[in-house]
Amino acid sequence: DVPAGPEVIDAVRVATGGNQPVSALDGRIYISYDPSRPRIGDYRIGYSLVPLGPISVIGEQQGTSFDAYQTEAGDKLLMVHNGISPAEAMFADAVTGNTVLTWVLRIVGLVLLGVAFSLLLAPIGVVADVIPFLGRIVRMGTGLVAFALAALVGSITIALAWFWYRPLLALVILIVGAGLFYAVSYLGKKREAQAGEAAATQGS
């Protein structure tokens, strides 16, 4: 990283119109009223120095520079690696990074589905709170149902996206999702039965 000098700070202050506070902290420029407590709308600017040397670029040459290449699918492609890298290796790295990001987003989507189903089913537990032990049992059951529904709906959605390109993977995802749905449903019924027996024992 390259530390920001006073001339850079002055240039940023002029570029922003001088209406916002500009300061430097730990070699970075902050456009913020309090850099130690950032808020939405604040900016943090840093510079990195790349030593002179060979680089590998995949893109479209525009005069003496490079710009993103517009593919037929509508995507823009621009990749830069330090050193000499074969195009095949650069594309392989991009595919790997994209695959990891895609699965992370899928997992996040499953978690959000679970939260959404939990919120939809939450009023049932509130109504059941009229009877203390029943409310706890119902909330536990709705939590398991929400997880099962998230696993089922999420796996179906992911499998449909893969079905045309990799049907075998889509089938595996469906089987795993169905297995999770069955396992959670079975566990929920078992816990409800145990809770019911415990409540009956306390009542007697």
Give mean pLDDT, residues 48-57.
82
The pTM of this model reads 0.54
C-alpha dihedral, 75 to 100 to 105 to 170, nearest 10°? 90
pLDDT higher than 70, residue 59: yes
- Domain extents in the chain: 6-45, 55-85, 90-203
pLDDT higher than 60, residue 204: no
Helix (H, G, I), strand (E, B) or coil at 47: strand
Tell me which residue of 188, 67, 95 sits closest to 139, measured CA to CA: 188
Q: CA 21, CA 19: separation in Å to the nearest integer?
A: 7
Percent of the chain with pLDDT over 70: 89
85 near 94, Cβ under 8 Å?
Answer: no
How much is the pLDDT for 112? 92
Residue-wise pLDDT for 123-167, tens only, equals 887 777 777 677 777 777 788 888 888 888 888 888 888 887 788
Q: CA 23, CA 182: separation in Å to the nearest integer?
A: 57
pLDDT higher than 70, residue 191: no
Give mean pLDDT, residues 198-204.
54
26, two tokens: 């730990």
